[in-house]
Structures are given as structure tokens and as C-alpha cells.
């Protein structure tokens, strides 16, 4: 978990390719935050490798090089930042203000979306709220609620944790991003005989490949430039406790052999030493990749995979939680309302049905962020289906139950039909506008001659005449 400073200014990452915007934001926010600026995904990666800990807050534009007029780079960056630092609070600040962009950014894990240009006071308020959430989560360990539930999926997960916790063998935790893999690792440690020993976590995607080895195994004085003193690594610091290696699929191939050696006999060497040391730490690894496919592709060692997967825990996606989605909703809404000293919101009957039908592609992280936004917008109020719809991302129409109906008892099925009708109407209007433009252009080029315009458009003269009746008065042919 990202450490939140108890004194001094928090770090804020600003990612935007417009120097005027970054300079202005630095000026406006520099009094309250240590501002770090980058203009592209590659610059962000370089910057994060230079920092001991990643910033706890980020302002991210969607339109970044090399495709500044599309949101793709911004979406990729959000995913990468949260893979490296799951607790980072990301606010999107972008001129690409389509509702679908805002919803998809939130689905990926962004806390909020602010359209450019933004009022400085509003921006400060949103960042302050995000920081408060980060502080509260660290203080109260709110994310433990990711393992709440009574249904088959979460029951099986608890059974596996109980079954494997007492063993000394490695555990491989698999599951999609945002599903709570570190929570599972924590639970395995807390329920094990090692619970009074250290629990250390290293995100293999959040650290430069050149630093992974000294971080894991330690180094001797003078082992490399900057090594002014000897330092132990995570395997030594964990001692007889647990070492959690998140995003294990990102571990460089050359280090996979050294990790395999530790798993087989506990032996390792500090960088710059020949003396062998021994670690008794239990290793729990996690990944959102399919390591079997990584092995087939030659990116992950088969022997290491088999050693890590002595026990495998599959963390379910939130779409498999069923009624447990409501338990998570109740837990998070109560938690954040209590911390904000407000009354929790509730969902009306139609909104509850919608909540159960939504897949939550961003998993527990997305659900939690939705609850935070609803807690801020509707404290102590009943949230309707229409209000809830704006928080969801319904890109797949086959699974989309959003509604724009104002009927008080509109069902999700009726809402889906209404949305499809609205989209069909919008498409029809767009096609009519395009047709009108082509017809007008052809008539202008042929000086209003219907026969010539029809030939140019590749249609019969009578067809052109009938099409024109719905667009404009029919000109007389010369």
C-alpha cells in the first residue's frame, strides 16, 4: 500500500502534453502538493522508476502522444498506474468529455472525471477528497471488505485460504485486476502460523528491472554506483514471515532462475557477494496474466511456474458475486459515510436490480469508487436507477440495461429497450444528415440538375427525388 505522509505535502503526478496546462496546474496546486509532471506514458514510466514510492494522487489527460486526439493512451496509462500502485487515486482531467470516455475511465479505476477547462477551486476540492479517501483507507484498512460475502464464489475462496494458510509451500493467486489479490495474500498470512511475523509486499511491475534483484536479495557496499552501504533485501527482511510478489509475470527472465533457487532450497546471494544466505520466508505470488500462456510464449519459466503453483487460488471476478454485490455495497457505503460523518445513501428497488445486473468489469476497485462518488453526491438520499446509470459503463449493448426513462417503475429490461431505441434513433438521424450533405454537394456540383446529380450519386433519378423530399424543397430542373 502506498504510504501517505503524515507531514509535508503529498506527491501529485500530472500527465498532460500541453506545457501551458502543466505549468498552470503546477502554479495552482504547487502550494499543496509536490507536483511531478510527465507528458506521455513513457515519461511516466521513467519518472516512477526514479521515485522511492509512487505518488498517491494523479491527474491524467486521456489524449496523450502519440495519439493526442484519441483517449487510448490515457486509458492504457490508467491501467498501468493502477497495476503498479493499486492504491493510487487517479482523477482524469481531459477535454475528451464524451460520457463513454468518462464512464470507461471510471471502469478502469479512475476515481473521477473532470472536463477541461476546470475551475481551480473545483479541482482542489476533488483532489482533497481523493486524498481524504486515501488516508481513510490506509488508516482503517477498508479494502479488507473485498473478501466479504456469503455466496458460492466467495465461500470457495475462503475455503481455499483456510486450507492453504498453514502450509509452507508457495501459493499462486490468480485473478483480474482490481479483484483483491493482495487481500487474499494478507488473509493467507494472517491465518497462518506466521501471522506474528513480517508480511512484505513487492509489486514487480512497479519497480525498474535493474532494481528488482537488489530489492529482493539485497546488496553489498560498492556493488554498484550509489551502493554506499550494505543493505538487506526483502527475503532477509521477511525472515520467517511472508513475502508477497505481486505481478509476478513482470519478473525478468534472468531473475526467475534466482527466485526458483530460493524456492527450492532457500539460498540466495546479495548483489556483489559470493556468500550464500538462507531465507525461510514463504512466497505468495499473484498475477492477472495467464502464466500458462506466458510459459508457452517463452516469457515465463515452466519450472518456476510449477514451483509457484503448488497451491493455486483463483480470485473470482465481481460478476460472479451475485447477491454479494449488495453486501459489498452496504459495507462500503456505511464505511465511507461514517468516515465522512454523513448518512449513507441507499438504492431504490430499480437501482438495486440494476446494481445486481451490472458486471463491474473493474471489479471491487470499480465498485468501491462508485460508492465513493455516490456517497459524495447523494448523502443520506435514495439513489434512483437513472442516477446510477451515469456511473456505469455499458459499452456492450447485449449486456446493457441502462435507462433514460422517467417512469418511476421502469424495469432494467424496459430501460434496455429504451436505450436501444434511442441509439437507433440517433444513428438514423446521423445517416440522414450524412445523406443530406451528399445530396446537397451533388446538386451544387451539377448546378441543381437532378439527372446529373443522380448519376454522380449512383442512384436512379426518382430515388434521388424521393430522398430529397425529406431534406429540402425540390429544385426545378433546367
Residue 36 pairs with which residues in a beta bridge? 13
pLDDT for residue 5: 47
Last residue of a domain, one of 140, 159, 185: 140
CATH assignment of the domain containing 440: 1.10.10
CATH assignment of the domain containing 389: 1.10.8
- The grid cell for 164 is 492453504
Last residue of a domain, one of 140, 163, 198: 140
Taking the C-alpha atoms of residue 366 and residue 393, their distance in angstroms, rounded to an integer, is 11
Residue 70 has pLDDT above 60, yes or no: yes
Kindly indicate the confidence band of residue 49, based on its pLDDT and cuts at 50, 70 and 90. Answer: confident
14 Cα distance to chain centroid: 17
Name the percent of the chain lying above pLDDT 90.
57
Residue 11 pairs with which residues in a beta bridge? 34
Taking the C-alpha atoms of residue 260 and residue 93, their distance in angstroms, rounded to an integer, is 43
Kindly indicate the confidence band of residue 343, based on its pLDDT and cuts at 50, 70 and 90. Answer: very high
302 and 202 co-located in one domain: yes
Please compute the mean of the pLDDT values over residues 67-76 and round it to a whole number. Answer: 91
Taking the C-alpha atoms of residue 392 and residue 412, their distance in angstroms, rounded to an integer, is 13
292 and 355 co-located in one domain: no
201 and 151 co-located in one domain: yes
pLDDT for residue 83: 80
Residue 466 has pLDDT above 70, yes or no: no
pLDDT in tens, 93-123: 998 888 888 888 988 889 999 999 889 999 9
Top mean pLDDT of 203-217, 227-241, 419-433 is at: 227-241
Lowest mean pLDDT among 145-154, 163-172, 213-222, 329-338: 145-154
Length of the chain: 478
Residue 305 lies in a domain: yes
DSSP per-residue string spanning 90-119: EEEEES---HHHHHHHHHHT-SEEEESS--
**Relative orientation angle of helices 349-357 and 412-445, to the nearest 10 degrees:** 70
134 and 150 co-located in one domain: no
How many CB atoms within 10 Å of residue 450?
20
Q: Residue 459's domain spans which residues? A: 415-469
Residue 478 has pLDDT above 70, yes or no: no
Residue 362 has pLDDT above 80, yes or no: yes
Is the Cβ–Cβ distance between 321 and 153 less than 8 Å?
yes
Calculate the average pLDDT of the chain: 84
- Here the contacts of 298-302 (C-beta below 8 Å, separation 24 or greater) are 299/249, 299/253, 300/249, 300/253, 300/256, 301/253, 301/256, 301/257, 301/260
- The grid cell for 293 is 500462456
Helix (H, G, I), strand (E, B) or coil at 335: helix
194 and 50 co-located in one domain: no
Taking the C-alpha atoms of residue 199 and residue 239, their distance in angstroms, rounded to an integer, is 10
Residue 67 lies in a domain: yes
Residue 148 has pLDDT above 50, yes or no: yes
Taking the C-alpha atoms of residue 236 and residue 279, their distance in angstroms, rounded to an integer, is 6
Residue 400 lies in a domain: no
Is the Cβ–Cβ distance between 364 and 317 less than 8 Å?
no
Is the Cβ–Cβ distance between 54 and 34 less than 8 Å?
no
pLDDT for residue 143: 43
pLDDT for residue 396: 40
Residue 214 has pLDDT above 60, yes or no: yes
Is the Cβ–Cβ distance between 21 and 66 less than 8 Å?
no
Top mean pLDDT of 5-9, 87-91, 446-450 is at: 87-91
Residue 333 lies in a domain: yes
pLDDT for residue 271: 93
Helix (H, G, I), strand (E, B) or coil at 217: helix
Phi-psi region of 325 (alpha: psi -120 to 50; beta: other; left: phi over 0): alpha
Residue 226 lies in a domain: yes
Q: If DSSP states are collapsed to H, E and C, what string results for 317-331?
A: CHHHCCCHHHHHHHH
197 and 217 co-located in one domain: yes
236 and 157 co-located in one domain: yes
Name the percent of the chain lying above pLDDT 70.
85
Helix (H, G, I), strand (E, B) or coil at 168: coil
Q: Which residue has cell 459524495?
A: 376
CATH assignment of the domain containing 164: 3.40.50.300
Listed in sequence order, the residues at least 6 apart from 254 whose beta carbon sits closer than 8 Å to its beta carbon are: none
292 and 255 co-located in one domain: yes
Kindly indicate the confidence band of residue 399, based on its pLDDT and cuts at 50, 70 and 90. Answer: very low
Residue 399 lies in a domain: no
pLDDT for residue 84: 80
Residue 474 lies in a domain: no
387 and 457 co-located in one domain: no
Kindly indicate the confidence band of residue 145, based on its pLDDT and cuts at 50, 70 and 90. Answer: very low
Q: Which residue has cell 447477491?
A: 323
Please compute the mean of the pLDDT values over residues 141-164 and round it to a whole number. Answer: 80
Taking the C-alpha atoms of residue 94 and residue 114, their distance in angstroms, rounded to an integer, is 7
pLDDT for residue 469: 62
Last residue of a domain, one of 316, 345, 378: 316
Q: Which residue has cell 466479504?
A: 148
Name the domain count of the chain. 4
Please compute the mean of the pLDDT values over residues 315-326 and round it to a whole number. Answer: 92
168 and 231 co-located in one domain: yes
pLDDT for residue 411: 47
pLDDT for residue 15: 97
Is the Cβ–Cβ distance between 271 and 220 less than 8 Å?
yes
181 and 287 co-located in one domain: yes
pLDDT for residue 423: 47
What's the order of all strands across the beta sheet hosting 171-174? Answer: 199-203, 242-246, 282-287, 171-174, 311-314
132 and 152 co-located in one domain: no
Is the Cβ–Cβ distance between 268 and 258 less than 8 Å?
yes
Taking the C-alpha atoms of residue 335 and residue 337, their distance in angstroms, rounded to an integer, is 6
Kindly indicate the confidence band of residue 328, based on its pLDDT and cuts at 50, 70 and 90. Answer: very high
pTM above 0.85, yes or no: no
- The grid cell for 175 is 485473478
Is the Cβ–Cβ distance between 61 and 67 less than 8 Å?
no
pLDDT in tens, 247-284: 999 999 999 999 999 999 999 999 999 999 999 999 99
Residue 178 has pLDDT above 50, yes or no: yes
Helix (H, G, I), strand (E, B) or coil at 313: strand
Residue 134 lies in a domain: yes
Helices (H), 202-323: 209-217, 234-238, 253-265, 291-296, 302-308
Amino acid at each position: 500500500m502506498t504510504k501517505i505522509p503524515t507531514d509535508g505535502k503529498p506527491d501529485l503526478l500530472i500527465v498532460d502534453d500541453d506545457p501551458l496546462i502543466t505549468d498552470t496546474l503546477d502554479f495552482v496546486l504547487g502550494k499543496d502538493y509536490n507536483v511531478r509532471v510527465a507528458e506521455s506514458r513513457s515519461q511516466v514510466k521513467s519518472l516512477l522508476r526514479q521515485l522511492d514510492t509512487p505518488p498517491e494522487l494523479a491527474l491524467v489527460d486521456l489524449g496523450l502522444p502519440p495519439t493526442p486526439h484519441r483517449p487510448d493512451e490515457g486509458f492504457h496509462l490508467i491501467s498501468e498506474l493502477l497495476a503498479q500502485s493499486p492504491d493510487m487515486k487517479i482523477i482524469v482531467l481531459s477535454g475528451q468529455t464524451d460520457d463513454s470516455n468518462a464512464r470507461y475511465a471510471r471502469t478502469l479505476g479512475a476515481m473521477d472525471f473532470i472536463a477541461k477547462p476546470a475551475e481551480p477551486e473545483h479541482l482542489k476540492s476533488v483532489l482533497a477528497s481523493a486524498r481524504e479517501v486515501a488516508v481513510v483507507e490506509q488508516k482503517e484498512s477498508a479494502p479488507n471488505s473485498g473478501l466479504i460475502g456469503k455466496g458460492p464464489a466467495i465461500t470457495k475462496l475462503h475455503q481455499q485460504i483456510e486450507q492453504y494458510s498453514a502450509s509452507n509451500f508457495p501459493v499462486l493467486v490468480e485473478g483480474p485486476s482490481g479483484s483483491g489479490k493482495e487481500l487474499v495474500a494478507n488473509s493467507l498470512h494472517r491465518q497462518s502460523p506466521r501471522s506474528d511475523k513480517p508480511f512484505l509486499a513487492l509489486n514487480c511491475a512497479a519497480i525498474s528491472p535493474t532494481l528488482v534483484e537488489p530489492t529482493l536479495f539485497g546488496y553489498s557496499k560498492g556493488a554498484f554506483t550509489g551502493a554506499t552501504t550494505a543493505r538487506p533485501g526483502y527475503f532477509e527482511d521477511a525472515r520467517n514471515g511472508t513475502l508477497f510478489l505481486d505481478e509476478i509475470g513482470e519478473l525478468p527472465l534472468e531473475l526467475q532462475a534466482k527466485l526458483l533457487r530460493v524456492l527450492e532450497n532457500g539460498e540466495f546471494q546479495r548483489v556483489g557477494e559470493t556468500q550464500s544466505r538462507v531465507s525461510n520466508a514463504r512466497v505468495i505470488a499473484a498475477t492477472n496474466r495467464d502464466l500458462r500462456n506466458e510459459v508457452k510464449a517463452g516469457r515465463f519459466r515452466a519450472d518456476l511456474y510449477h514451483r509457484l503453483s503448488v497451491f493455486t487460488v483463483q480470485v473470482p471476478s465481481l460478476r460472479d458475486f451475485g447477491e454479494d454485490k449488495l453486501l459489498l455495497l452496504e459495507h462500503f457505503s456505511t464505511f465511507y459515510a461514517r468516515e465522512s460523518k454523513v448518512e449513507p445513501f441507499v438504492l431504490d428497488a430499480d437501482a438495486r436490480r440494476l446494481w445486481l445486473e451490472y458486471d463491474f468489469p473493474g471489479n471491487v476497485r470499480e465498485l468501491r469508487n462508485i460508492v465513493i462518488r455516490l456517497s459524495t453526491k447523494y448523502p443520506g438520499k435514495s439513489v434512483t436507477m437513472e442516477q446510477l446509470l451515469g456511473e456505469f459503463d455499458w459499452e456492450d449493448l447485449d449486456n446493457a440495461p441502462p435507462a433514460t426513462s422517467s417512469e418511476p417503475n421502469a424495469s432494467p429490461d424496459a430501460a434496455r429497450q429504451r436505450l436501444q431505441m434511442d441509439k437507433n434513433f440517433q444513428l438514423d438521424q446521423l445517416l440522414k444528415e450524412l445523406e443530406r450533405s451528399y445530396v446537397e454537394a451533388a446538386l451544387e456540383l451539377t448546378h441543381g440538375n437532378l439527372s446529373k446529380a443522380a448519376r454522380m450519386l449512383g442512384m436512379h433519378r426518382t430515388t434521388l427525388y424521393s430522398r430529397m423530399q425529406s431534406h429540402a424543397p425540390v429544385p426545378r430542373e433546367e
